[in-house]
Structures are given as structure tokens and as C-alpha cells.
Amino acid sequence: MKVNIIGNGITKFGELWEEDLRGLAFMAGFSAIKDANLEPKDIDALYIANMNSSSFSGQQHLGSLIASDLNLNCPGLRVEGVCASGSLAINCAFNAIKSQLYKTVLVIGVEKMTDVETAIATMALASASDEEWEGFYGVTFPCLYAMMAREHFRQYGTNREDLAKISVKNHLNAILNPNAHFHRAISTNDVLRAPLVSSPLGLLDCSPISDGAAAIILSSKFKGKVELVTSEIATDKIALHDREELTSIKATRIAGTSAYKTAGIKPKDIDIAEVHDCFSIAELIAYEDLGFVTTKQTKKYISDGYFSREGELPINTSGGLKGCGHPVGATGVKQANEIVLQLLGKAGTRQLNRPLRYGLTHNVGGSGGTSVINIFKKNK
Amino acid sequence: MKVNIIGNGITKFGELWEEDLRGLAFMAGFSAIKDANLEPKDIDALYIANMNSSSFSGQQHLGSLIASDLNLNCPGLRVEGVCASGSLAINCAFNAIKSQLYKTVLVIGVEKMTDVETAIATMALASASDEEWEGFYGVTFPCLYAMMAREHFRQYGTNREDLAKISVKNHLNAILNPNAHFHRAISTNDVLRAPLVSSPLGLLDCSPISDGAAAIILSSKFKGKVELVTSEIATDKIALHDREELTSIKATRIAGTSAYKTAGIKPKDIDIAEVHDCFSIAELIAYEDLGFVTTKQTKKYISDGYFSREGELPINTSGGLKGCGHPVGATGVKQANEIVLQLLGKAGTRQLNRPLRYGLTHNVGGSGGTSVINIFKKNK
């Protein structure tokens, strides 16, 4: 049985002062239902991805709330795995369809983050770490990824310039995406001269705090030109100090290996990918963990533009978390949207001008405690 | 394929000042693994049920956190549907096993509520309602259920005495449960004379704020004497003012009808049930919505002790949410635990002294925006 992607919806990402949580979720969900040319009665279940509407908006129970607003008469529930919530919800929908429990499932990822001040948002985001042994000691997420960057620099000779090129690429890609948070080209020098957040990571190595929502409809009943071939989750120790290594995210390696195996493909078969660049170092490590490069090749591949729009394997054509924005619960669903639009040839001005068959999304929870890999395929 | 229940674990419920969120989840999970005589490697996935660890404990990402602590190397994620989270997580585990995605799944429900003051807890709980149209106007959960009670009184001639008898029964049952929050018999007069929280509901019509965790292991690989036959979710409008009626929870009727049909049984075939008595009126309405009584019979059945331990259909032998306590995310899993122990004949001093075949759990999210019905069966 095939799990087809039959509809997509997305809102603008950014500081959306005039939009609220439920409005964003509604807009994305409504757009997806319209895009799929369905009626509410065609939806068998609703999975909502959201990290922290409790702290950001004082609202939980989004399954019932959003089902109410969209006039759906179907089961609705929320799935949470912090920053990986979006892909986790897609994973749950995929499995529910594979099990023949439901035929058509709507997944909405949403996060409204800007209604609280930045300090509160940073604390709320720290709840994705091991609070007792990391967050409560003041270790915020930039710090966790900074430690990973430092160790990567030490072991493999990578440096701030390598990281900067990743942010530069993602900002450049975002310019072509009308829904992206930022539409501004930045230079390597801009990144290197930006204020340090947690050395060696500067402000432009970090994804922003954004509002936004994205939706996708999966179905075994209705036909689509793109299918979700496989969806794999893996979990690792939540605390950085409990991990086997700092320079690789084991959960990504496990989920990735498993996903390639199930899909019957190799990393080189992937034509396009959206990877989790919450920090520039996260994207660099993803290249290696997903088998796109060996640690020896990383510097050269980045330098050669291998992952740019014109390169061999375009990564984060949406602008990634850095350029497109990172409304946490929405991110994994937005990644899926971008891959599907590109495979369908419907990505507008940012459409890649080449044949595409396989696309991958890589979505990480916290500093790597959770990783989800979804592989999409365009049917011939 | 059968989904067997192969292990249970539970902590004490109550004001557990010396326990924290992760400790409670660990204890319940560890007990269940031990009870099933398994090793961590035997667990294929972990589903965590929790409503609001973000507001209560500043910690999210419980899938990875608890998998880390229990030394599980498997996917872990959290499911949230406020007060129905526990049964929702069991539902997800059930479906994942039915789909042959996993063979053995550990479900842990946990809530640590007493680390914040009562006013903050009440606000956090209000996030289960439609915040924008209910919570933010000061409508707390006792108010929502009070409106349902008033309308039930008006339409069907029920009264505070009828409700009081439900609290009296559940407190009496809790005395026999060593893990219950309360071990104190109360009288009808106690309930009627208790301070009003939201008229007509008094303090003893309301379930308490409790800490606690419960765990259950479902498996298609390992044998068990009790199986989960069916698990059904339904969603309704989240806001009370958007519902078709106040005196019935439509989501329960939909999920219940569906569950009975799938199990191939009628309400009269149920030998024991745990129902969601967050407020006394909720249990009364559940009797009707689950088809155990008609609205004309309710008063008499309550008065005759039909739902007591000695009655025809014992309900809430654990003590229910009122007597056993209501650590929100743990409740649905505790309900399942109670049914399984009773079906197995392992409920200790509170074991019912009669043959039991079918047991049902009824778990409601918010004021009825979500309802989950699970039906368990003892194999001959």
C-alpha cells in the first residue's frame, strides 16, 4: 500500500504579530484541505505537531481545538518530540495509514513563539534538553551546539568559515521562498562578525524564533504523484554528556540507516534534502550522519558548493531553519512540504531545474535525543 | 493478531513532595518492565503520556528523557490530549502493534503537578479548554462541569445528592487501594457541606491535584492473559458553547459505540469499568453515554448501588480520579492498570470476588473535546 501526499498548506513564517496559534494552524490546515480538493468529511484523523503551546500561548488540547476550528469530525491528537514534533506527527500519520486504521490523515505543525519575550522563549526551548542536568545550570541550546562545534573543529579541523558558508547558503535560498522569515543575503564576513551567542556560534549561526504553521495530507485512498516511502524515528540519550560522541548524532545515523534500507536506496540516490539546521553546526553534522559526505570530505564539499541550489545535492532549498525560520512544531512539516513541492515541480521561483526522484527530510529533537528521517519519492 | 497486556507498573498517587517527574516515570516504567520479566532490549518503542510537564516541571522531550533513564534504545515520543493523554498513548501503542510496526511497546503516563502552586496548576489545567473563549474569561474546569451539572439537574431531575453518592463510592473504593491519594471514607453529608467550588459542585465533587505515574506494556510477541480488544478515540468541539448538548459528551458516545461494535459486545457485557470522574457529574454522565443506564434509570441505579463494588457493574474500583487521584497524564494508564489487575485476579485486597471477562476504560480530555474508550478482555 502506498502512502500518497495529496495536499500541502503553509503560512508565512516570521514574526507574525497579527496572527495567533489557532489562526496559523487553521490557515495551514484549510489550505491543505483545499489544495487536496477535499471536504472536511474526507479527513479520517488529525495529528497536530507542536512543541510548547502551553508556555507560548497558554493553550493545549490542540487535537480537539483545531479539529473544532476546521469542522473535522475525526480523532485528533498532538504529538510532541520538541523540535522533531513535525516529522514525528508525519511518522504517526504514516503508521496509522500503513496499519489501515485511517485512509486519509491531516498533519498540521504549528508554533506561535513571539507572544512571549525572548528570555522566556529561550527557557521554554531549554525544556527540550535534560533540564535537571543541562537547562537548569544555564546551558541553553546555543551552548549545547557550541560544544558540538568545538569538538568537531578539534577532531576534524573544521572552522567558523565552514559553518558560515552554510548560513550564507540558506539565507540565499530563503530569498527565493516567499514564505521565508528572512529575505536578505548575508556574507561569510557578516556571519563571522555577528555577535557571539555561544562561542564559536554567532548570531547568524543560529536559527531565529519564528511563528508559522505547515500542513500536509497523507492518503492511501486518494492518488498523488509523490509518496512517503519510509519514516523512521530513533532516540538517543537526551543529555549531551551521556552520549557516546559529540561530533555525530547517533539517533540520525540509526534512523537514516534504517530509512535507506527500507526505501531500498543509498545516500547517493537522494536528489534533494531538507536538514535540521537549528544551528549551522547541526547542518554540517547532518551531512556526515546522513552519509552525504565522509568527515574528510566535509570542508571541501561545503567550499565547492556541493549543497547549494546549483550543486550536486541541493540542501534546504526552503531556506532551512536558518533562512525560512524555525517555528518549532511546524518545521518538520514545512520540510516535508518543501520536498513534495520540489518533487512535484511546483516550488515556484525556487523550483530546481532538474529531474528529481527521491527527497529526504531530517528533523532533530533537542540536541539529538530524537531524530526522524522521512524519504519521499516521485512516482514515474 | 492479539495485543496482549504483559506488564504493569504504578507509583503511589498523591502529594509526593520527594519525587520528581522523571523519577516517577522511571519507577512506573521500571516496575512494568520487571513485572513483564523483560530486558530493556525487548522494548520496541516508548509512548509517554503527559499533559503539561512544560508548565509543571519546565521539562519536555519526555520520549528521549525517559528512554535515556530506562536505558531503552528505541523510538520514544510523547502524546498529548490533556486529561485523555494516557489512553491516547495506549491507543497509539495499540495501533502501532496492530500495524506490525512494533511488537512490544511500553506506555508510561506521568504527571508531577505539586511543584507549582494551586493557582498556577489551575491555570495550566485551563489550557485544556478553549482558552480564548473559556479559560481567559476565568472559566476554570470546575465551572465548565458545573454548567453541565446544572443543565443535567434541570433536564433530568438529578441533584447534588446523586452526585455526592458517586464521590462517597469512589472514596470508599480508594481505601482498598494502597496507591490511592486518599484513604478516607466520606459521607453524603460531607460532600454536601464541603465548600462550593463552582455551584453546584463542591470541593468533594472535584478530583484532586496529584502526582503519580503508571505504566503498561502491550505486546503481540509475548503472551498475556488479558488482551486489549479495541481502542477508539473521538473528538468533539473543544468549547462547551459550541456543543450540541451539555448533558452528554458526544465524543464518548461516538468512541463507545465504535468500541462496542469492534469488540462485538454490548454495554451489558462489560463486567467492570474505570470511568473519568474528574468531577462527580462527569461519572454520572459517563454512565449514560456508555450505555450502562438510560437517563431515566440513573438516579435509581446510583441510589441502589449498582456501580459499587458489590453492585452489578463495579465502576472505579481503583478509587477513580476522585479517590485514587488525578495526575493528569497518568490517569488513563492507571485506569488500564486497574482493569488488567482485576481481570487477572491480582488486585489484592480490592480484588472483586466474581468472574470477570470484559473491562472498559473511559478517559476524557478537557470538558469532552476528546474521549478514548479501551476495552480489555480476559482470555479463557
The pLDDT of residue A289:
98
Smallest Cβ–Cβ distance between B235 and the set A58, A64, A127 belongs to A64
The pLDDT of residue B130:
95
Record the cell numbers describing residue A369, joined without a space.
Answer: 535525543
Strand partners, A376: A228, A359
pLDDT per position as a tens digit, A231-274: 999 999 999 999 999 999 999 999 999 999 999 999 999 999 99
Instruction: Report, as residue numbers or ranges, the catalytic residues of A.
Output: 83, 326
Sign of the torsion angle spanned by Cα atoms A106, A62, A25, A125: negative
Chain A: nearest CA to B56, how far in angstroms?
A: 10
**Mean pLDDT of the A27-54 span:** 97
The pLDDT of residue B117:
86
Given CATH 3.60.9.10, say whether it is the number of domain A4-117+210-219: no
Which stretches of chain B are assigned E, i.e. beta strand? 4-10, 45-49, 76-80, 104-111, 196-198, 201-202, 212-219, 226-235, 272-274, 358-365, 370-378
Smallest Cβ–Cβ distance between A60 and the set B60, B63, B82 belongs to B82
Q: Does residue B5 come out as left (phi exceeding 0), alpha (psi in the -120 to 50 range) or beta?
A: beta
Q: Specify the amino acid at residue B87.
A: S
Q: Do the chains contact at A235 and B369, CB–CB below 8 Å?
A: no
Record the cell numbers describing residue B241, joined without a space.
Answer: 458553547
pTM: 0.96
Q: Do the chains contact at A136 and B58, CB–CB below 8 Å?
A: yes
Neighbouring residues of B295: CB distance < 8 A, sequence distance ≥ 6: B155, B156, B247, B288
The whole-angstrom separation of Cα B373 and Cα B256 is 6
Does residue A181 surpass a pLDDT of 90? yes
Residue B92's Cβ-count burial label (10 Å; 0-12, 13-18, 19+) is buried
B178 touches chain A (CB under 8 A): no
Q: Are strands B272-274 and B358-365 parallel, antiparallel or unpaired?
A: parallel
Mean pLDDT, chain A, whole residue set: 97
Q: What is the ipTM of this complex?
A: 0.94
Record the cell numbers describing residue A271, joined without a space.
Answer: 536528489
Record the cell numbers describing residue B46, joined without a space.
Answer: 516508548
- Domain chopping of chain A, boundaries: 4-117+210-219
pLDDT per position as a tens digit, A87-101: 999 999 999 999 888
Does residue A352 surpass a pLDDT of 90? yes
A204 touches chain B (CB under 8 A): no
Does residue A36 surpass a pLDDT of 90? yes
Residue B331's Cβ-count burial label (10 Å; 0-12, 13-18, 19+) is buried
- Dmax over Cα atoms in chain A, in whole Å? 56
B366 touches chain A (CB under 8 A): yes
- pLDDT tens for chain B, residues 1 to 380: 999 999 999 999 999 999 999 999 999 999 999 999 999 999 999 999 999 999 899 999 999 999 999 999 999 999 999 999 999 999 999 999 998 889 999 999 999 999 998 888 888 899 999 999 998 898 999 999 999 999 999 999 999 999 999 999 999 999 999 999 999 999 999 999 999 999 999 999 999 999 999 999 999 999 999 999 999 999 999 999 999 999 999 999 999 999 999 999 999 999 999 999 999 999 999 999 999 999 999 999 999 999 999 999 999 999 999 999 999 999 999 999 999 999 999 999 999 999 999 999 999 999 999 999 999 999 98
Contact A380, A292 (CB under 8 A): no
Contact A88, A366 (CB under 8 A): no
Query: Residue A235: its chain B contacts at CB < 8 A?
Result: 46, 63-64, 67-68, 72-76
- Note which residues in 281-310 of chain A have CB less than 8 A from chain B: none
The whole-angstrom separation of Cα A269 and Cα A283 is 19
Q: Specify the amino acid at residue A357.
A: R
Residue A23's Cβ-count burial label (10 Å; 0-12, 13-18, 19+) is middle
The whole-angstrom separation of Cα B224 and Cα A334 is 42
Sign of the torsion angle spanned by Cα atoms A359, A232, A11, A172: negative
For residue A279, CA distances in Å to A133, A170, A206, A285, B371 come to 21, 11, 5, 10, 40
